[in-house]
Chains A and B, each alone.
Chain A
C-alpha cells in the first residue's frame, strides 16, 4: 500500500492495490472483479438492447473521460478542447475506414479494416497533439483553458470546411467495426450464434476500455506517471527534483490526445455511424469535464463512474421514461435534469470533496477501516489511554 498512498496527494488513503493486476491481490478485489465480470455477462446475455446501448455509450464516454483525466486530472493541465482531438480521430477513422464514395461529391473513404482505422485515429490525434502542444503548453492555468477552448472552435471551423473528408455541415457516414465477413451494422451469425449490433459493440468495447483503464492506471504509477503528478502538484518542485517539465507535459498531452482520438472514432461510429461537424462542440467537451469532476479527478474508476453519471443517467431516464409525463410538458428533458444535477454536483464536489465520487468512496472506506481497527483495539488487551471515554467506562 505504501506506494499507492503517494498516488494522489489529495486523498491520503488509497484503496487501490499496488501491483499491475492488483485487483487479483486482495480478497475484496477478487470478489469485486468476479462480481463485475458476472454482472457484465448477465447484462450481455439478458440485458436487452436498451441497457446495452446505455452501457456502450458510457464505455465510449469513459474512454474520453479517461483521456481528459490524464491531461487535466493527473497532470493538472486544464483542457476544454478534448472534442477537437476526438473530432480529429473520428475523421481519420472516417477517411480510412469509411465506405468508398458512391456519388461524386461524397466524402472520401478507403474502406479499410478496423485494425487500421481505430489505431490510426489515435495516432493521428496524437500527432495533432504533438503539433499543437508546443504552442499550447507554453501557457498554463486559465490561459491554457482558453487556448484549448479556442481549439474547439477552430476545429469546428476546419471540420465544416474540409468537405472532402468531413462531408461539410451535413455530416458524413462513419465506419462501423467489421471483422472479415462480420459487420457490426448488419450482424451475421458467427459459429451459429447471432448477436445484435449492440452486443457486438459491447464485446469490442468492454475489453478495450478495460485495457485502456489498466494501461492508464499502470502508467500513472510508473516514472512517467509520477512525473505528470509532480508537475500537477508543484511545477517548481518537480523541476527541482529533475522532472523535465516540457517533456512531461508533452507526453501527457500526446498520450491524452491518442486516447481521445480512439474515443472520438468510436463516439462517431456508435450508435448510428453518422455525425455532423457540430458533434464536436464545446458543450460536449464541458460534459467530459463534468464527468471527470463528478467521478473523480486523477482516478481511473472515477472516470468510468463520472461518464456513467453524466452520459448514462440521461440515457437511462429517457429509455425507461423515468421522468413523469406531466412534468415533461413544461419542457423538462432528461438532459436538462441531469445537467442541473451535475452542475450542482460540480459545485458541491469542488467545495467539499475535490476528488469526486471516488474520493468520497475512498474516504468512506477508510473511515470504515478505522472503525474496524478501533473495534479490534477495544476488544483487545487494553483501551486506548488517549481516549477519556474509555477511562470513564
Chain B
C-alpha cells in the first residue's frame, strides 16, 4: 500500500507539471485557436535561464525565477505580436508549423549557448529533501509543485472570474467578433494569453528541472505528454486541462511503478506510451474530451 501511495504521490506531482503545461495550451487555444507546439520549449528556456541566473550570475533564486518569467513572457508576447498575428485566418497546418519553427529555434538557441548539458536546476531547497510519513517519502519539491499548481489554478480562476481582463478573455473565447464589437481589445487578449501560457510553463519548467535533478536541452519534450492531457480534458476546457494533466501523470507513474511486475507481457518503457494509448481511446469514444464542448473541430 505504501508503494501505491508513493507512486500516486509522485504521479500527482508529475501530473501537476502536465497540468501547468496543459493550462498554457488551453488558454492560448481558447483565446486564439492556436495550438502552440513550442509550449515545451518555454519550460526549457525558463528552467535554463533560472539555472544560469543562479549559478553563473550568482543571483538569488527568486530573482532568477523572476528574470526567467520575464524573458519567457517576453518571448511569448513578441512571437504572438510579430509572427502569429499575421497568421490569422491561415490554415491550421501553417499555424502549427510556425509554432514548430519557434520550438526548433528556442531549443537550438539553448543548445547553442553551450551550457545546456548536465545543467543543475535552480532551487531554493534541497533537491532530495523531504519528509517520511508512514513509509512514504514526500519530497519537498513534489509538495511545492502541488501547492504552487493549486495556487496557480486559484489565481487563474480569480483572474478569469473577477477581473476586467479575465472577462475580456472569456468574452473573446466565446465569440471573438461580438467581443470586438463590444470594445474588447483582442490584441491585448492574445498578448495576455501568450504571457500567461509562457509564465505557467516557466513555473512548470523550474519544478520539472528540480524533479529530474540535472537537465539538458531535451527537458521540453515532457510537454508532449500535455497533449494527451488536453485531449483527455477537452481542448477548450481550463478545468479539463488540470484534471487531464493530473490523470495522465497518475496513469503514467502508476504504469511505470508496476510495469516491472508484468515485464514479460508489456516489455520495457510501456509508461512512455500509456498516455498516448489513453488519448487515442478518448479520441475514438469521446473526441471532445471529458469537459470540452462538442462543437470543437472534429470530423
Contacts and interface: CB of A to CB of B under 8 A. Distances in A.
Interface in B274-297: 276-277, 279-280, 283-284, 287, 297
B111 interface: yes
B87 interface: yes
A138 interface: yes
Interface string B74-105: 00000000010011001111101110111111
B298 interface: yes
Interface string A325-340: 0000011100010011
A161 B221 CA distance: 22
A149 B223 CA distance: 13
A43 interface: no
A192 to B, nearest CB: 49
Nearest to B114: A331
B112 A332 contact: yes
B257 to A, nearest CB: 17
Nearest to A292: B97
Interface centre among B96, B100, B101, B109 (most CB of A within 10 A): B101
Interface in A116-152: 135, 138-143, 145-147, 149-150
Contact of B104 (A139, A346, A350, A351): A346
Contact of B108 (A141, A153, A339, A351): A339
B201 interface: no
Contacts, number: 133
Nearest to A235: B299
A344 interface: yes
B137 to A, nearest CB: 29
B227 interface: yes
A286 B267 contact: no
A347 B102 CA distance: 7
Band of interface residues on B: 35 or more
A347 B105 contact: yes
A142 B105 contact: no
B197 interface: no
Contacts of B96: 78, 142, 145
Interface in A326-366: 330-332, 336, 339-340, 342-347, 350-351, 354
Contacts of A344: 101, 105
A138 B111 contact: no
B198 to A, nearest CB: 17
B185 interface: no
B269 interface: yes
Nearest to A145: B96
Contacts of B111: 331, 336, 339
A148 B109 CA distance: 26
B297 A351 contact: no
Query: Main SS of the interface on chain B?
Result: helix
A290 interface: yes
Nearest to A293: B97
A302 interface: no
A161 B267 CA distance: 6
Contacts of B268: 160-161, 169
Contacts of A339: 104, 107-108, 111
A140 B298 contact: yes
B184 interface: no
A98 interface: no
A290 B37 CA distance: 14
Interface in A252-309: 282, 286, 289-290, 293
A181 B267 CA distance: 40
A236 B48 CA distance: 46
Contacts of A76: 91, 93
8 residue pairs, one from A and one from B, having the closest CB atoms: A331-B114, A346-B101, A343-B104, A161-B267, A150-B276, A343-B105, A347-B101, A339-B108
Given A331-B114, A336-B111, A156 B272 contact: yes
Interface of B: 35, 83, 86-87, 90-94, 96-98, 100-105, 107-109, 111-115, 221, 224, 227-228, 231, 235, 267-270, 272-273, 276-277, 279-280, 283-284, 287, 297-299
Query: Main SS of the interface on chain A?
Result: helix
Given A286-B100, A350-B87, A150 B298 contact: no
Nearest to B267: A161
27 contacts: A78-B93, A140-B298, A142-B35, A142-B235, A143-B297, A147-B279, A156-B269, A156-B272, A157-B273, A161-B267, A161-B269, A289-B97, A330-B113, A331-B111, A331-B114, A336-B111, A339-B104, A340-B108, A343-B101, A346-B104, A347-B98, A347-B105, A350-B83, A351-B83, A351-B86, A351-B98, A354-B94
A83 interface: no
A7 to B, nearest CB: 18
A140 B272 CA distance: 24
Contacts of B104: 286, 290, 339-340, 342-343, 346
A138 B276 CA distance: 16
Contacts of A169: 268
A149 B114 contact: no
A377 interface: no
Interface in A51-83: 72, 76, 78
Interface centre among B93, B100, B111, B279 (most CB of A within 10 A): B93
B92 A78 contact: yes
